[in-house]
Structure 1
Amino acid sequence: MESFKDVIGHSEIIEYIRNAVSSDKIAHAYIVNGNQGAGKKMLAKLFAMTVLCENSNTDPCGTCPSCLQAESMNHPDLIWVNHEKPATIGVDDVRAQINNTIHIKPYKSEYKVYIMPEADKMTEQAQNALLKTLEEPPSYVIFLLLTSNAKALMSTITSRCVILRLRNIKETLIKKYLMENMNVPDYQAEVSAAFSQGNLGQGIMLAKSEHFNALMESALRFLRNEDSLKMDDLIEAVKESTNYKVDYCDYLDIFTIWYRDILLYKATKDIDKLIFKNEISKIKEMAKHKSYEDIELVLKGIENAKERLRANVNFDLVMELLFHTMKETNR
């Protein structure tokens, strides 16, 4: 059974939860805000299990009847608010699952906890219906609203909630988790962690994604050989890159990390700090032949390409301009 010890990162939020529970200063409503895959559901569940636990006031014991019921999603005082429409939480969902049940006192616990995943999908009507409850909630009720975009909630709701913001996790922690818990090889774990942007869920997804691995190999195949490419190769690379239009940021991020590795090695000769350690032979060669100005020019070209693509400039044209910029720095 999971406990706070199983949570990767978010130590400040865990400490806050423990202090709130142990000092009996629990607010009636919280917004747990973080990107998809950041661990919102896990933290909310552990928060609920802690306040409902029969044996502990800082961590769920994991063995009492209350913890076992919560773990199996069968606790009568832990309500997960669901919605049938995938993109919307409607007013009927709020009324049926919250407003119509909130005045029923807890069956076996001191508290009654409502967890609403994807709370930012509530319609305006649904939010107004929830607001009436938030204004004068029963003393035994705790709301945990999970959001990826807290700004989508009305200010009248956010002002009545404590906001817990899930911050990015250190890449070293994500890499360690992937290697120790998922048996991901060192190199793959390092690359997945680098592209996770501090999000453990994203790191796990990338480590298991054949699509991401294919995308990375496509980019690296070009990068390894870009100094010897001819125009026909360049055109072919542009065509191949269009297979990943929907992932152009990931595709170009691979280019950015590659050139930052070259820059880092050129400046420090420190292999341990590189992401693409497996490509060290090629990185050494390119660091030797490219000047600092060349590398900065390409990095700037990559960022310009991202901006142009965000502005809906023709994809093939943008990529061809970028590849020409890269080719001009080959010596």
Structure 2
Amino acid sequence: MVSFNNIIGHEEIIRHLKNAMTTGKVSHSYIFTGRPGSGKKLLATTYAMTLQCEAGGTEPCQKCDSCKKALGKNHPDIIMVNHEKPGTISIDEIRDQLIHDVAIKPYCSPHKIYIVPDAEMMTVQAQNALLKTIEEPPEYAVIMLLTSNADALLPTIQSRCVRLDLKVVDDNLVKKYLMERLHVPDYQAEIDASFAQGSIGKAQEAATSEEFGKMTENALRILKYVSTMQTYELTDVIRELSDEKQHIGDYLDIFQFWFRDVLMFKATREIDNLVFKQEINYIKEQASQRSYENLEKILEALEKAKVRLRANVNFELALELLFLTIRER
């Protein structure tokens, strides 16, 4: 059910939007900014549905004609701006779907609402063309720009929009959501929530993706036995990871959580705050074998590997250097 009550976190933003509806101070243009998977689209579509709802409250009623159309994604006055080319939104796409269209009055609603996902992909020409509409919008227009990089928008656009920054959601809230709504087992929810780093979308994806489960399993197999692997086995691991290049960032995140767990257990002897609680025997063993200095070095090496891979350094070489550090005692 689409409702503000079902959105996890973002209480301040929800309060702001509800207040705007209650006081009749709905802005003509908004920027929703936050990391991928942080819930920008969900907030924007819920707000759009509520603004158009015939009941006129601060939650969509779900029953009126307008809500039914919004739920069916065929509301004529809620327009999702899309783009054909990956990575760019052209001036023609903004003109056709928004600038020319906004001149036509709403068909059946108080507002005409435009949602622009990935707004940072608009070309400078597209942004400049949109600027005039944002400066002099028709009374009924509401434009919502969704972005994971607000700085890519022109300062002139930024200064004319109400900016709503989505903060990361607390890990415990994410974990609770996964366990209660998606019935994910406790230990798996712990891993998914840590991996998501405050992004409900990413947590949901991890929890429901078979691929992520297999990847976690594979990463743990490597981590448990990396210290005792022969050189040829290590070469096989690097080759294996090369075949999964597109997921290497996720693998490195999982490696990081593991070594943080080892460090945390070494320092506190407590199990409660560990991500990989169910692997406590292996964590205990590695904590007794490794020094604090060695663990700090490994965590630094993981950060370095991420930087190197982003800079397109030779993939195999970056991983070889990382595993050399991990194998040192």
* TM-score after normalising by structure 1: 0.91
What RMSD, in angstroms, separates the aligned Cα atoms of the two structures? 2.1
Residue 273 of structure 1 aligns to a residue whose secondary structure is coil
2:226 aligned with 1:226: yes
Report deviation, 1:280.
Answer: 0.4
2:158 aligned residue: 158
1:74-89 maps to which residues of 2 (within 5 A)? 74-89=74-89
Q: 1:82 to 1:310 in 2, by over 3 A?
A: closer
1:21 aligned residue: 21
Bigger CA drift: 12-21 or 219-228? 219-228
C-alpha distance in 2 between matches for 1:325 and 1:312: 20
C-alpha distance in 2 between matches for 1:213 and 1:10: 28
Identity within the alignment, %? 52
1:242 aligned residue: 242
Bigger CA drift: 109-118 or 265-274? 109-118
Q: 1:22 to 1:224 in 2, by over 3 A?
A: same
8 A Cα contact 1:244 1:251, kept in partner: no
Q: 1:305 to 1:180 in 2, by over 3 A?
A: same
Bigger CA drift: 306-315 or 267-276? 306-315
Deviation track 1:43-73 (CA, whole Å, cap 9, x = no partner) reads 1111112222222332222222222222223
Q: 1:91 to 1:228 in 2, by over 3 A?
A: closer
Amino acid at match of 2:61: C
Report deviation, 1:3.
Answer: 0.5
C-alpha distance in 2 between matches for 1:321 and 1:101: 55
Deviation track 1:221-275 (CA, whole Å, cap 9, x = no partner) reads 1221233233333333333332333322222222211111011111112211111
1:245-264 maps to which residues of 2 (within 5 A)? 245-264=245-264
Report deviation, 1:33.
Answer: 1.6
Bigger CA drift: 234-243 or 191-200? 234-243
C-alpha distance in 2 between matches for 1:142 and 1:281: 56
1:190 aligned residue: 190
Report deviation, 1:91.
Answer: 2.5
2:315 aligned with 1:315: yes
Bigger CA drift: 43-52 or 116-125? 116-125
Residue 102 of structure 2 aligns to a residue whose secondary structure is coil
2:298 aligned residue: 298
1:105-254 maps to which residues of 2 (within 5 A)? 105-254=105-254
Residue 9 of structure 1 aligns to a residue whose secondary structure is coil
Q: 1:303 to 1:60 in 2, by over 3 A?
A: same
1:281 aligned residue: 281
C-alpha distance in 2 between matches for 1:35 and 1:306: 18
Q: 1:105 to 1:325 in 2, by over 3 A?
A: closer
Bigger CA drift: 196-205 or 319-328? 319-328
Residue 272 of structure 1 aligns to a residue whose secondary structure is coil
Bigger CA drift: 143-152 or 312-321? 312-321
Q: Aligned pairs, how many?
A: 329
C-alpha distance in 1 between matches for 2:176 and 2:148: 25
Report deviation, 1:86.
Answer: 4.2
Bigger CA drift: 286-295 or 261-270? 286-295
1:324 aligned residue: 324
Q: 1:88 to 1:286 in 2, by over 3 A?
A: closer
1:96 aligned residue: 96
1:49-60 maps to which residues of 2 (within 5 A)? 49-60=49-60
Give the unaligned 5+ runs of structure 2.
Answer: none
Residue 244 of structure 2 aligns to a residue whose secondary structure is helix
8 A Cα contact 1:31 1:145, kept in partner: yes
8 A Cα contact 1:258 1:276, kept in partner: yes
C-alpha distance in 1 between matches for 2:8 and 2:276: 24
Q: 1:24 to 1:224 in 2, by over 3 A?
A: same
C-alpha distance in 2 between matches for 1:97 and 1:321: 50
Residue 62 of structure 2 aligns to a residue whose secondary structure is coil
8 A Cα contact 1:33 1:40, kept in partner: yes
2:272 aligned with 1:272: yes
Q: 1:248 to 1:97 in 2, by over 3 A?
A: closer
Report deviation, 1:292.
Answer: 1.6
Amino acid at match of 1:62: Q
